[in-house]
Every structure is written in C-alpha cells, then in structure tokens.
C-alpha cells in the first residue's frame, strides 16, 4: 500500500484551502481498509476518510494523521423485477457517473441528483439531495467497516437515520463507519410531475412535456450550471450553508415583517427557510469577504477567489452568520464537514 508523506490537502479539496496531511494513502478494497485501520491504531495515528473532497474543508495547519482516500470501485446489478432494478456500487465510484449510467438505462430515482460532485460512499453521509430527491429515497442498505468492532456490517436505510442533509455518519456515529458499498433500488418508467418548483419552471420554459430520466437529468444539469460554479474553475464546496429549519412561531413572527419570505412546511411545526434568501436579504449576495465571494447566482455558495487560507474562510463564514442572526434571529449551519 502506497503511503505518501507531507501532502498538501488543498489538492484533494474543491475549496482549495487547507494545510498538509502527515500521511495520505488510498484504499481499493475492504481488506485495504482493515489493514490501514489496524496499522493506524497500532501506531497511534488518527485517520480521516475522504471521498471526492467536495464537502470537506480543512484548517491551515498540519493534520497529524493519515488521510485515507476511498477508491473502492464496482458496479453490479444484483436484483431486478418488473418495476425495479437494484444496483450495488463501490464507495469510490463517482456519484455523477453512476447517475449518468442509470438514467441512460431509463431508470429513475436519482435523476434530480445529477451533477452533484463527490463519490457514492460520501453521498449517504450528508444524505445528498436536490430538486425534490434525496439519496435516502432509493438507498436500501450499505456495507461499512465498523472501526469499533473491526467487522464489516450491513446498515439498513433505517439504521442510517437519514434526515435533512444529515445521517448518523456526521452526528452520533461520526468517524465510526467507513462506507465500502452502497445499494440503491431504482425504478423503471418515467418521472412523474409535479416536480420541484425550480425544475418545473425550467421544464415549462423549455416546453418539455415528455418526461424521461435523461431529459430531467439534462434539465437539472442546466439549472445547476447557472447556479453552482464548477469547482474546477471556481474553487467552492457547493452549498456552504444548509437551508434553515425554523420553528413555526419564528416563521409567523418573521412573516409579519417579511411577507414575501419563502417558507416550506416540513411537518411538526417546523418550516424550511432558504438560507440563500436570508443571506441575500442581508445585502451579501455577490460580496467579497476576506477573499471569499458570495456567489452572485446563489448565495448559499461561497467561492474562494483570493483567500489566503482557512482563517479567511472562517472570517467570511462568521460575517455571514452574524448578519443573518442579527437580522432574522436564525442561526445558520455550515454544510461541509471539517477535517480534524
């Protein structure tokens, strides 16, 4: 197993900010995972699992451990009936390559998740979602290496405790499981309206009335291209802030002052308020803060234009969070994980 030393982290992170890692290696199998975890534990070296680096940011200093890049590949159709096809994927597979493949086969269930960067193994961690779909809608189970028991375990959809942009993998069990494979149940047929409002409006503008997995994918890619800059051209970590989940009493109070505030009933007297709208109302859309640009097309996205390091990003994050808190009394949450 090739282990490299003193590697700049920013080459693996789409935000292109971060210090160095003491060690970096790749794993290509479950046995590789077992070996590196066992050896790391024996040497007292911490480890961090990294997928595509599109939802992770890193501090400027040195990570005094080993960054393990998950490169476990594989694609297998393991079951089929008259309505569904079940696919098992290696955690290192590129998510959008998977979406492209299954939409070409006229399978539905993930077409609205097109053009999301990252790997299939990273997708369940934050329960990726877009335009009305989430990975939790189609993921049936996943295999993972349990670092507490050194066993390979199978976790069901329910075991993952999926919720909005969240799961056990970034909360109560963060760092415990190394995802090896994910299993997805996809559906035969055509996508059916009503679609998510942004997507619905785009389809109407383009006079698209015949709905297929492919044309929904193409529409999503076009929408995203206008709202989310390519990280290869403009370094970013996608949506930097989660949309805000707000109690009904506060929503009711805010609507008295901001009657046009978008809000969506999530049940249980909780409403989703678009954080991008909140940031825009603070006059920050398009602003440059400490070398970090608030994306002019989508204020949820922060672009690294000239930041000198993590400290600049942290100052920009704090300025945005403070402005939203002071104006709306809403605490906004960062979406990317931090390598630590």
Catalytic residues: 165, 239, 335
How far apart, in Å, are the Cα atoms of 232 and each of 27, 130, 270, 295? 24, 21, 36, 15
Whether the link from the prior residue into 279 is cis, omega within 30° of 0, is no
How far apart, in Å, are the Cα atoms of 262 and each of 258, 266, 272? 9, 13, 8
Q: Is 263 helix (H, G, I), strand (E, B) or coil?
A: coil
Q: How far apart are CA 195 and CA 133, in angstroms?
A: 10
Q: Give yes or no for a contact between 175 and 65, defined as CB atoms under 8 angstroms apart.
A: no
Q: Is 339 helix (H, G, I), strand (E, B) or coil?
A: coil
Q: How far apart are CA 303 and CA 207, in angstroms?
A: 33
Strand partners, 163: 166
């Amino acid at each position: 197993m090739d282990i490299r030393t003193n590697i700049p982290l920013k080459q693996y992170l789409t935000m292109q900010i971060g210090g160095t890692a003491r060690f970096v290696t790749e794993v290509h199998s479950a046995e590789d995972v077992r070996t590196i975890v066992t050896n790391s534990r024996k040497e007292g070296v911490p480890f961090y699992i990294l997928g595509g680096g599109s939802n992770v940011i890193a501090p400027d200093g040195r990570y005094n451990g080993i960054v393990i890049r998950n490169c476990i590949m594989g694609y297998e159709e393991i079951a089929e009936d008259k309505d569904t096809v079940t696919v098992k994927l290696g955690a290192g597979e590129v998510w959008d390559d998977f979406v492209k493949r299954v939409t070409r086969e006229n399978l539905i269930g993930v077409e609205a998740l097109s053009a999301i960067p990252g790997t299939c193994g990273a997708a369940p961690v934050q329960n990726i979602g877009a335009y009305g779909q989430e990975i939790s809608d189609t993921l049936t189970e996943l295999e993972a290496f349990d670092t507490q028991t050194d066993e390979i375990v199978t976790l069901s959809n329910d075991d993952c405790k999926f919720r909005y942009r969240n799961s056990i993998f970034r909360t109560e069990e963060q760092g415990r499981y190394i995802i090896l494979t994910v299993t997805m149940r996809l559906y035969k047929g055509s996508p059916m309206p009503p679609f998510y409002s942004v997507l619905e409006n785009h389809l109407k503008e383009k006079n698209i009335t015949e709905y297929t997995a492919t044309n929904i994918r193409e529409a999503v890619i076009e929408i995203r291209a206008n709202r989310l800059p390519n990280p290869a051209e403009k370094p970013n970590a996608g949506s930097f802030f989660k949309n805000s989940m707000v109690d009904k009493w506060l929503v009711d109070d805010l609507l008295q002052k901001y009657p046009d505030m978008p809000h969506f009933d999530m049940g249980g007297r909780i409403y989703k308020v678009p954080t991008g709208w909140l940031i825009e109302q603070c006059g920050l859309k398009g602003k440059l803060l400490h070398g970090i640009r608030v994306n002019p097309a989508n204020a949820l996205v922060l672009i690294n234009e000239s930041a000198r390091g993590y400290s600049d990003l942290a100052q920009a994050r704090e300025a945005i969070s403070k402005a939203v808190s002071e104006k709306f009394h809403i605490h906004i949450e960062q979406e990317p994980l931090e390598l630590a």
